[in-house]
Amino acid sequence: MIGIIGLGAIGRIIASDLHKFYNGKVVYIVRDKSSVNNLAKKFNAEVRFGDVNDPDSLVNAFKNLKVVIHAVHHEYNIAVMKACLKADCNYIDLGGLYHFTKKQLKLFNRFKKKNLLAIIGMGASPGITNVMASYGSRFFKEINNIQFLIGSEDFSTYKKESPLTNLYSIQTIIEEFSWKPAVFVDGKTIFVEPISGREEYKFPSPVGSKKPQFTIHSEIATIPYNLKSKNVSFKIAFDDSFVDKILTLKRIGFTVDKDIKIKDNKVNIMDTLVNILKKLPRPIPKKLNQYEIIRVIISGFDYYGYDKQVILDARIESINETVNKDTGVPPSIVSQMIVNNLINKSGVFPPELIINDKLFFDELFKRNIFIFCNDRRIN
C-alpha cells in the first residue's frame, strides 16, 4: 500500500497519477477526512486520520503501508520521517529547501538500521533536476560547473485571475524570496542575497527570455558532493510583475520571520502574511495551457581531457492540466518503484544516488514529460 500525507494541490496530482498507473491500494492521510471524501470515492482510496503535529496519529495512520509520500510543507519532513521509522515504512518527500535536507541526511543510519528507505527531494526540483544531473555526469571525467535553471510560461486563459497567481506553494515562494540562497563556489558553500543574480536568460521556445534568480534549494545540499562538481547553482525565473509584488511585501517588512505583539497576542509576521495570501481568491481557468523547462547545464572535461558541455532539459507542456504535474508525478513513479522492489537500498538518499535514470525517464515519457540531451530527446 502507498500512503499520501497531505492532499493539497500537489497531493491531489500524486493521487491522480497513482490512480492512473498503480493497481494497488492507496491511502490518503489527512486531518479532515471529509475534505477528501469525494476524491477518495472517485479514486477508490482509503482515508485515515493523521496530523503532522501529532506524531502518534502519524504512526497509527502509517500502519501496514509500504511507503509514505509526504506532500505537506518541508518543515514537517523530519517529524514524518521519524513516524515512518516507528511504523516501519519507507518515505518520499518533495524537498527541504537546503537546510531541512541537511538535517534529513543525518537520519541515514536510523533508516539503514531498520532496513528502510527514505528518498528526499523527489519532485520536479529537487527530483527531476537531480536525476538529469546524474545522467549528464557520466559524460565527464571532471565536472567544473552544474547550473540548474527553471523557466515557465503560462498561455492559459482565465475566467477570473488572482491578485497573486503562483505556480506552487506561496509559503515556499515567500521563503525563497526571504532566505539567503546557497551557492556552491570553488568547492565551498556560500550564501548570497535573496533575489540576487537576476539576469536575462533565453530558454528554448516557447518559454523564451526570462530572468532567473538565485533561490534557496535542496540541490546545493547534495549535488556538489555526490557528483563532485566544483561549482553548483540553482536559479528560477518569475515574471517581473510577480517579483514586483513580492518585493513590495518584502520592502514593507511583511516577509520577516519575526514575532510581534498585537493586542496581547503574539503573531509571526511571515506566518500571518502566508495565511492571508492563502485566502486570496484563486484563479479560475477557462483553458489551461502552461509550459515549463527544467534545464541542467554541466561543463567540465571529458575522458579525453577536452572541454565539454552538456545541456539537459525536461520539457513539460500542460494542456488542460497544470504544469505542476512535474512535481506530482515523480513521487508517484518512485513510490511504485519501491513497491515493485525496483529499488532495494536502505538509508536516506537524494535522487541522484538511487534512481535508475532510464526507468525514471521512461515513466516521465508516459506522462508527456520529455527529457532532452543537447536538444536530442532521450525518452
Same domain, 161 and 276: yes
Same domain, 40 and 160: no
Same domain, 86 and 136: no
Same domain, 60 and 115: yes
* 3-state DSSP of the chain: CEEEECCCHHHHHHHHHHHHHCCCCEEEEECCHHHHHHHHHHHCCEEEECECCEHHHHHHHCCCCCEEEECCCHHHHHHHHHHHHHHCCEEEECCCCCHHHHHHHCCHHHHHHCCCEEECCCECCCEHHHHHHHHHHCCCCEEEEEEEEEEEEECCEEEECCCCCCCCCHHHHHHHHHCCCEEEECCEEEECCCCCCCCCEECCCCCCEECEEECCCCHHHHHHHHCCEEEEEEEEECCHHHHHHHHHHHHCCCCCCCEEEECCEEEEHHHHHHHHHHCCCCCEEEECEEEEEEEEEEEEECCCCCEEEEEEEEEEEEECCCCCHHHHHHHHHHHHHHHCCCCCCCEEECHHHCCCHHHHHHHHHHCCEEEEECCEECC
Same domain, 228 and 349: no
pLDDT at position 8 is 92
Same domain, 170 and 297: yes
How far, in Å, CA of 50 to CA of 141, rounded? 47
Same domain, 7 and 28: yes
Domain total of the chain: 2
- Is the residue at 375 inside a domain? no
Same domain, 10 and 116: yes
Amino acid in the structure at residue 58: L
pLDDT at position 167 is 66
- Is the residue at 45 inside a domain? yes
pLDDT at position 306 is 98
- Is the residue at 223 inside a domain? yes
- Is the residue at 118 inside a domain? yes
- Is the residue at 207 inside a domain? yes
- Is the residue at 366 inside a domain? no
Same domain, 217 and 245: yes
How far, in Å, CA of 132 to CA of 222, rounded? 14
Assign residue 230 the CATH number of its domain: 3.30.360.10
Q: In terms of C-beta density within 10 A (0-12 exposed, 13-18 middle, 19 or more buried), how is residue 331 classed?
A: buried
Instruction: Please tell me whether the overall predicted TM-score, pTM, comes out greater than 0.75 for this model.
Output: yes
How far, in Å, CA of 236 to CA of 215, rounded? 7
Same domain, 176 and 312: yes
Same domain, 236 and 139: yes
How far, in Å, CA of 329 to CA of 122, rounded? 9
Distance between first and last Cα of the chain: 28
Grid cell locating 324: 505542476
pLDDT in tens, the chain (379 residues): 999 999 999 999 999 999 999 999 999 999 999 999 999 999 999 999 999 999 999 999 999 999 999 999 999 999 999 999 999 999 999 998 999 999 999 999 999 999 999 999 999 999 999 999 999 999 999 999 999 999 999 999 999 888 777 667 888 888 899 999 999 999 999 999 999 999 999 999 999 999 999 999 999 999 999 999 999 999 999 999 989 999 999 999 999 889 998 888 899 999 999 888 888 888 888 999 999 999 999 999 999 999 999 999 999 999 999 999 999 999 999 999 999 999 999 999 999 999 999 999 999 999 999 999 999 999 9
* Domain enclosing residue 268, as ranges: 128-319
Assign residue 93 the CATH number of its domain: 3.40.50.720
Asked if 14 contacts 122 with a C-beta cutoff of 8 angstroms, the reply is: no
Same domain, 238 and 331: no
- Is the residue at 97 inside a domain? yes
pLDDT at position 169 is 81
